[in-house]
Structure 1
Amino acid sequence: MRVGVFGLLGSGNLGNDGSLEAVLGHLRADHPEAVVDALCGGPEVVAARYGIPATRLHWYRGEYRTASRAGAIAGKGVGKLVDVFRTAAWVRRHDVVIVPGMGVLEATLPLRPWGFPYALFLLCASGRLLRTRVALVGVGAAAIGDRPTRALVRWSARLAAYRSYRDAPSRDAMREMGVDTARDEVYPDLAFALPTPSAGAPSTSSGGGPVCVGVMDFHGGNDDRARAEEIHRRYLDGTTRFVRALVEDGRPVRLVTGDECDATVVAAILDAVDSPLATAAKAASLADLMKEMAAADAVVATRYHNLVCALKVGVPTLALSYAAKSDTLMAERGLGAYCHPAREVDADRLLEQFRDLERRSAELRRTLAERNRAAAERLQHQFTALATALFPAAAHAHALRETP
């Protein structure tokens, strides 16, 4: 069985790579005979880190840089045409292509239709034409206002042979955009299938233990471009005030990120706070993030997969939420009351919520342990359903072995 994995993988986003790692773990455990390779954003990283052959997603190397000169604009235009044939040729070599997790059906962060939405459409259209099954596994989706982007996303979903979502609002969004979701299922985010490091014991000192703060180079969403700099300034100012207040209380603060672009925010906060109690972590994977968070008494985080990591290790968490997916995730884990708007960070109000979170720490840890056990069971159902849909012969042989 020839299996391809597809997406903005190896491009610096730890959440995307964590979803890939979860799917590769499943394939290696349950389908060791499968031959796997990738069409992705960072082929060198994927090949080195995961040991699979990888091909660059776009022919034009400057795809995600702003094109201002005539040569760059022409290069992008030619690249769009070349990618039609490159994508089809790659798809033809596979029996199955998996898009592992990621928010591939949403535009909650700035996104242009001719970027990844176009690439995803080429993949799904090639799969349908060449009879290669394309599976969108545990993906995120959201209502999209921009018409070209919405059309590409809708047709990509319609052309896929298999779809599942990481939350119910994602499925609802695709239904509202005209996709028949009657057979589509909802499962926990794929990152919940990764191995979990042990959560540390909460601090018993009177001053409180370490706090992990996940930051983001946040400028709003796709519809906030006119206010992007204002949103970023408010986010940075509010988050910096919050970190400074923790440090002034004697709390060690560990800053973490989820994407390479977040490093500028970390540097700005450290420079403004200027305290040895505020330090930055260097995480190369979701496993690294989980280890950092497991050592904390509490987590305050923005990026979706920062939240996933904190919840997975069972640490009380407060979300600086920028999209419905974060609110939904927190509600599913029993922490719906601990969401704070990332677009309007109010440091004083955030401190109040944080102190309430810590007062309920023991209770919330028990709740998270229960919810995480349920999530693990649901993900086993996800992989079983995926095997049935994509590897029917292997699933049938497995069923025969299991029959007494």
Structure 2
Amino acid sequence: MTPKDETPARVGVFGLLGSGNLGNDGSLEAVLRYLRAEHPEAVVDALCGGPEAVTARFGIPATRLHWYRGEYRTASRAAAIAGKGVGKLVDVYRTAAWVRRHDVVIVPGMGVLEATLPLRPWGFPYSLFLLCASGRLLGTRVALVSVGAARIKSRPTRALVRWSARLAAHRSYRDAQSRDAMRAMGVDTARDEVYPDLAFFLPAPRASEPTGTRGTVCLGVMDFHGGNDDRARAEEIYRRYLDGTITFVRTLVAEGRPVRLLTGDECDLSVVEAILDAVDSPLVTAAEPASLADLMHEMAAADTVVAVRYHNLICALKTGTPVLALSYAAKSEALMERMGVGAYCHPAREVDADRLLEQFRELEKHAAEVRQTLAERNRVATDQLAQQFTALTTTLFPANSHAHAPRKAR
């Protein structure tokens, strides 16, 4: 409880939350679980991409991240371009005013320090810089918690990301290569720690016991066109990824295997529709997950998972279901390696259906030992995240630090 003479901590959460990306919202859910367990007196609200969705789902007040509502739509007309420009100036004051109302602002996970997917410097990197600069100027502690980072070639984006990290009061990363990337971009990371992704703190259903018969394969899809450096060949990358995936699904269906298509973001629905159109079979069905919990329930019931999106992989790993990663960035390979299944990765930019099938069959052959490995690594990940939250309490809430660790997710 908070002493009567002590004002409850005012905590803000920040990011592209409530915008349709299940992984981002899962990271927020993990942080809110921590705050509600360890700091129930804290007054929490959000500055985010989808405030209505965040309030409806998580029950906290939320403010729209951008003044200009068309921020992430392509601007071709003069009015739209002017609107974006004015919005950038208005957001300076809006962000500072929001930050000023808080003692602490937490950026929960997400790849906020990377550009592995198409990204413009004046989009989210600019917003993150405004947040961190406002925090430093106004005395509000900004914490980047278990975030992802990667070396960035674009000079404007790299500069914004570097200064955002430097201005934050606390930084931790979801893998060692993220910390290495920030060090390579000129950030002093000597006191920064590495912990697992926040989604590993969420509760997960137990994976179904193998029945001895070949059951459902969950296929996590993605509207994948490469990253920031692949814009010139984006359509070629997408076509190769989609064609290879369709061939993979057709082969499974020919063998009588049920295939369950899963998304991780609203934009992935177009890929689901393309696969359903190309493979006309009752064995191929699609789910509409609304959260990481929904994804985990789907994957826990499957024999095997093949997935692209980073948090789809985490859901499979968390449930202990054997998973093969269609890797679109080094972070996926680092995640699989950390969980002891680094051999089961296939490049999303260069999908080779024959090689993919070969790796899939090898994974199923060793499914029992994979499940055992994942059970052991999940215990370690949960313990490490509990340690992070204890450290976070000491750093961000020194007046009411607890001697005990946060409750572990089951």
Instruction: Give the TM interval when normalised to the shorter protein.
Output: over 0.9
Q: CA deviation at 1:88?
A: 0.1
**SS of match in other structure, 1:52:** coil
Query: Which one of the candidate residues 71, 74, 95 is aligned to 2:103?
Result: 95
- 2:197 matches 1:186: no
Please tell me whether the aligned partners of residues 108 and 222 of structure 1 are also in contact (alpha carbons under 8 angstroms): yes
CA distance in 1, matches of 2:405, 2:95: 37
Check the 8 A contact 1:15/1:258 in 2, yes or no.
Answer: yes
TM-score, with length taken from structure 1:
0.98
CA distance in 1 between partners of 2:267 and 2:404 (Å)? 49
Look up the equivalent residue of 2:347 and give its one-letter code: P
Matched, 1:216 2:229: no
Q: Is the 8 A contact 1:202 1:296 kept in 2?
A: no
Q: Which residue of 2 is the match for residue 3 of structure 1?
A: 11
Asked whether the 8 Å contact 2:390–2:405 carries over to 1, the reply is: no
Counterpart-to-counterpart distance in 1, 2:104 and 2:28: 15
Closer, same or farther: CA 33–349 of 1 in aligned 2, 3 Å: same
- Per-residue CA deviations over 1:23-55 (Å, capped at 9, x if unaligned) read 000000000000000000000000000000000
The alpha carbon displacement at 1:399 in A equals 3.0
Residue type of the alignment partner of 2:354 = D
How far, CA to CA, are the matches of 1:229 and 1:15 in structure 2? 25
The CA RMSD over aligned residues, in Å, is 1.1
Amino acid at match of 2:45: D
Residue 178 of structure 2: aligned partner? 170
Provide the rounded CA distance (Å) in 2 between the counterparts of 1:348 and 1:179. Answer: 42
The alignment status of 1:245 with 2:251, answered yes or no, reads: yes
The one of 122, 130, 134 aligned to 2:138: 130
1:371 and 1:25 mapped to 2: Cα distance? 22
Counting only pairs closer than 5 Å after superposition, residues 60-75 of structure 1 correspond to structure 2 as 60-75=68-83
Q: Output the amino acid matched with 1:233.
A: R
1:19-34 correspondence to structure 2 within 5 Å = 19-34=27-42
2:312 to 300, 306, 313: 306
Contact 1:241-1:347 within 8 A present in 2 as well? yes
Mapping 1:206-285, distance limit 5 Å: 208-285=214-291
- The SS at the match of 1:369 is helix
The residue matched to 1:223 in structure 2 has which SS?
helix
Identify which of 389, 396, 403 aligns with 1:399. Answer: 403
Query: 1:382 matched to which residue of 2?
Result: 388
The one-letter code matched in structure 1 to 2:306 is V
Which AA in structure 1 matches 2:56?
Answer: A
Residues 386 and 405, structure 2, Cα contact 8 Å, conserved in 1: no
> Following the alignment from structure 1 to structure 2, what is the Cα–Cα distance between the partners of residues 316 and 289?
14
CA distance in 1, matches of 2:405, 2:233: 59
Residue 112 of structure 1 aligns with an amino acid whose one-letter code is R
* Alpha-carbon distance change, 199 to 400 in structure 1, aligned in 2, over 3 angstroms: closer
Give the letter aligned to residue 213 of structure 1.
Answer: L
Partner of 1:80: 88
- Per the TM alignment, residue 394 of structure 1 is displaced from its structure 2 partner at its CA by 1.1
Tell me by how many angstroms 1:305 deviates: 0.2
Distance of aligned partners of 1:40 and 1:175 in 2 relative to their CA distance in 1, 3 Å threshold: same
- Aligned partners of 2:228, 2:211: CA distance in 1, in Å? 40
Partners of 2:151 and 2:88 in 1: CA distance? 25
Q: CA deviation at 1:203?
A: 3.0
Q: Distance in 2 between matches of 1:130 and 1:112?
A: 27
Q: Distance in 1 between the 2:369 and 2:74 partners?
A: 48
Q: Deviations over 1:103-160 (max 9, x none)?
A: 0000000000000000000000000000000000000000000000000000000000
Identical-pair percentage: 81
Q: Does 1:49 align with 2:53?
A: no
Shift of 1:400: 9.5
Q: 1:323-334 maps to which residues of 2 (within 5 A)?
A: 323-334=329-340
SS at match of 1:279: strand
CA 1:252/1:401 → structure 2, altered by over 3 Å: closer, same or farther? closer
1:71 shift after superposition: 0.2
Instruction: Give CA-to-partner distance per residue, 1:297-352, whole Å, 9 cap, x none.
Output: 00000000000000000011000001000000001111111100000111111000
Letter of the 2:248 partner, please give it: F
State the secondary structure of the residue aligned to 2:274: helix
Report the CA distance between 1:202 and its aligned residue. Answer: 1.7
3-state DSSP of counterpart to 1:39: strand
Are the equivalent residues in 2 in contact too, given 1:301–1:307 (CA < 8 A)? yes
Partner amino acid for 2:182?
Answer: M
Q: Shift of the alpha carbon at 1:401?
A: 12
State the alpha-carbon separation in 2 of the partners of residues 282 and 204 from structure 1.
28
Counterpart CA distance in 2 for 1:394 and 1:296 is 43
Q: CA–CA distance in 1 between the matches of 2:341 and 2:211?
A: 21
Report the Cα distance in structure 1 between the residues aligned to 2:198 and 2:179, rounded to whole angstroms: 16
Distance 1:129 1:217 in 2: 39
CA distance in 2, matches of 1:14, 1:199: 20
2-structure distance, mates of 1:203, 1:329: 28
Deviations 1:262-306 (A, max 9, x none): 000000001101000000011000000000000000000000000
Match of 1:361 in 2: 367
Please tell me whether residue 152 in structure 1 is matched to residue 160 in structure 2. Answer: yes
Partners of 1:313 and 1:178 lie apart in 2 by 37
- The structure 1 segments of at least 4 consecutive aligned residues displaced by more than 4 Å after TM superposition are none
Counterpart AA for 1:387: T
Equivalent residue letter for 1:289: L
One-letter amino acid of the structure 1 residue matched with residue 83 of structure 2: G
Q: Is the contact made by 2:113 and 2:150 (CA closer than 8 Å) also made in structure 1?
A: yes
